[in-house]
Structures are given as C-alpha cells and as structure tokens.
Structure 1
Amino acid sequence: MTNQTKSQFIAVASITSELSAVMVVAKEISLAAANAKAIAFRAGDKAKGFQPITDFINELAKETIELVTNINIYALVLYRLTVDEYQKTVAYNKFELAAKMAEDAPYAKSMQEPVDHARLSMQDCQRQFKRDVSQLLGQLEAVMHHARAARVIAANSRIEASQAGEYLQSLQAVAESVDKAAHTIHDNVQRCRIALSIYRNS
C-alpha cells in the first residue's frame, strides 16, 4: 500500500470518528432544546423571550444531524474511492513492470495500450477523489456555520435567561450546554477539514 493510500484511509477513518462525536453532540443539543422548552413553559412570562430560542436550538440541532448524516455518506464514498484507487494503482504498477520486463520481446508494443488504460483509470480515480473532497469540505463548512450560529444563540440565551427570575440557573445551564456543544462541533469539524484540505490542493 502506498503512503498516499495509507494517509487517505487514515483521513477518511478520522473523519468518520470525528463526525460520530459531532452526531452525539448534536443530539445532546436537541435534548437541551427540549429541556429548555419545558423550563420556559413553566416559567411563563418570565421566560417569554427564551421560548422562541428553544425552537431555534432544536432546528439547529436537527439541521446539524441531517448534514452530518449526509457527510457520513460522502465519507463512505471517499473510503470506497480510496480502495478503488489502491486497486487501480496496484494494477497499473503491475502492468508497467510487465511492460518493462518485456521491452525486448517481439510483441512488447502490445503492452502499451493496457499500461495506458491502467494509468488513465488510476488518474480518473484520483481526480474523482479530489472532486469529492471539495464537495465534502463544502458540507463541513455548512456544519461550521451551524456551530457559529449555535454560539450566537447561546449568547442570546444567556441574556434572555437573566430575565427569568428563579428559572435563571436552569436556563443559563441550557445556554452553557449549547455553547459547549458548539465549541465541540467546531473543533471536531475543524479537524476533519484539516485532514481533508491537503487532498484538495495536492
């Protein structure tokens, strides 16, 4: 296995791992939204400004889960492409070696066509991998956007929670959990982007 193929396998595996963590955190945000909604309902007018925020938090969590689900499908495609590229690279290397060994043989020129075909097939696979990496990076950017939005919502949640009287601590805890989750999602997705960015420019 080539170093390039090994690093691609590692990159795709690390993305899958990071995204699993993002999915867990997004589900936690959804749960936090449900808890916040219940608290805001009990608080009534004291948490009137907090009630619509819970809908935003829940919607954000759902959209993040949907995005991550789609990204996981892309990650699986990248894994299959990496396997395919590895197999085609092995085939190309074998054809090329056979052609070199048969240089002095009477029908040596007949080897050129399969060598060229194997090389083109390998290169097509490499180009497809780069195209899919670019698309995946675009989807990861969308998740980053959601993480940034979650931080803004968390900041607004703190402001609204401060007006909630005896419910302040409960709603502040929700705001803190959303902010912490947003940080986690941002960091995990950033690691995915770093792992992939080298392939977009290579």
Structure 2
Amino acid sequence: MTRIALIDDHESVRLGLEAACARSDGKQVVFSGSSVIEYLRWRRTGGGAPADVVVLDLTLGDGTTVSENVTRLVSDGSSVIIHSVADRPAAVREALTSGAAGVVSKASPIDDVIGAIRAVARGELLNNVEWASAIDGDRDFADAQLSARERDVLRLYAAGLPLKAVADRLGIAYSTAKENITRVRVKYVEVGRPAPTKVDLMRRALEDGILAEAGTNSAEAARER
C-alpha cells in the first residue's frame, strides 16, 4: 500500500486527488491539508511513518517557498511530486534542484497524476521534458547576467576561499571583492534566486556551472584557509 499525502491550499484539488487515489488499487491517502507545516505537525502528533509520496502544490498561500517545502519533505523521508500549473518555470527548477522527483501539470488528466505517483513510489524519477523546455526558455532564471569579474569572485568565494584570499588571488582590493559579492547577491535576488549565505552562493554557482570552471579550487581553498 502506497501512503500518499496531498498538500495544496485549494480544497477542491485535494478532493479530486483523494477520489482518484481511492479508485486506484494500492494507494492510501494518509494526509490531506493546506501546508507542509500542518503535515509535519500531523506526523509529530501520531501520524505514523512519513508518506511514501507527497503531492505538493508549487505555491502555497502560507508564505513558504517551494525549496523550503521540498527540502523539509525530502529530509523527512518522502518522495515529492510537484503538482502545478505551467507558468512558473523558475519555481519549478527551484523545486527540482531541491530534490523533487518530478512535476505533473494540473492540466494533466488525473490518470497521469496517478501514474506519476505509481512511478515515484517505485523509486523512479519523472520524465519532465516539457518542464525542462519551459525552464530552458526562462532566460531570467537561467542567467543572472553576472559580469566576468563577478563570476571570477563568485567562483573562488563559493569554492571556499575567504574573501581576502579571493581579493589577493585576483589582484584586487578587498573592498572591490566585497562589492562584487554584494552585486552578485543583488542580481540573484532580482531573478528570484536569493543567496543570502555563502552556502547559498555555492549552490547558485553549482547550478550555473560556475564552480565547474574551478578544477582544483576546493583543494586550494582548503590549503589557504
């Protein structure tokens, strides 16, 4: 029996999915609610083992982000399917980067959703060709349009070097290196990919292939710390 949790702030969507799961053999909806916080509270207060598959709305009305929600659910032991409309490619990519197994459009037939649940329960990732195309077409998300200098500073800083060492390596003033990192953070915020911490900057650099340019930077950083 596949244990399923449905998290969507539209009750009508949840009711439709519940009915479809009830008609499908081997599926049990163990939770239906409007937020991940509500689901995790249910888990802590006797809900039992984590759901095998969580069907999660891309955008909930409680102010949480999709990356927060997916990370919490995956860390709790569930596989996550994003159930969404197709007009938020940036948020979709954020969900997939955070560990979601795939995406199913809310415009898809209900049998497709059930099929996706079945596949993910077997440990498979979903084939999201249409979503990949949408993401590739979202140039603002894909490219924060960093300058060459900003990429150089980010590459070294995200690889682990202290900012002073980055400045020394590039032959620039510490204040210039700091100003570049500030501009990088602003640019990522502007395209909906905030990076307030050094770890977040590392994630953005990995996503954008900037760290791939680094080669042996991690070992160099370890020596220079």
* TM-score using structure 2 length: 0.24
Q: Which has the higher helix share?
A: 1
* TM-score using structure 1 length: 0.26
Relative CO higher for 1 or 2, CA cutoff 8 Å, sep ≥ 6? 1
Q: Which has the higher strand share?
A: 2
Larger Rg: 1
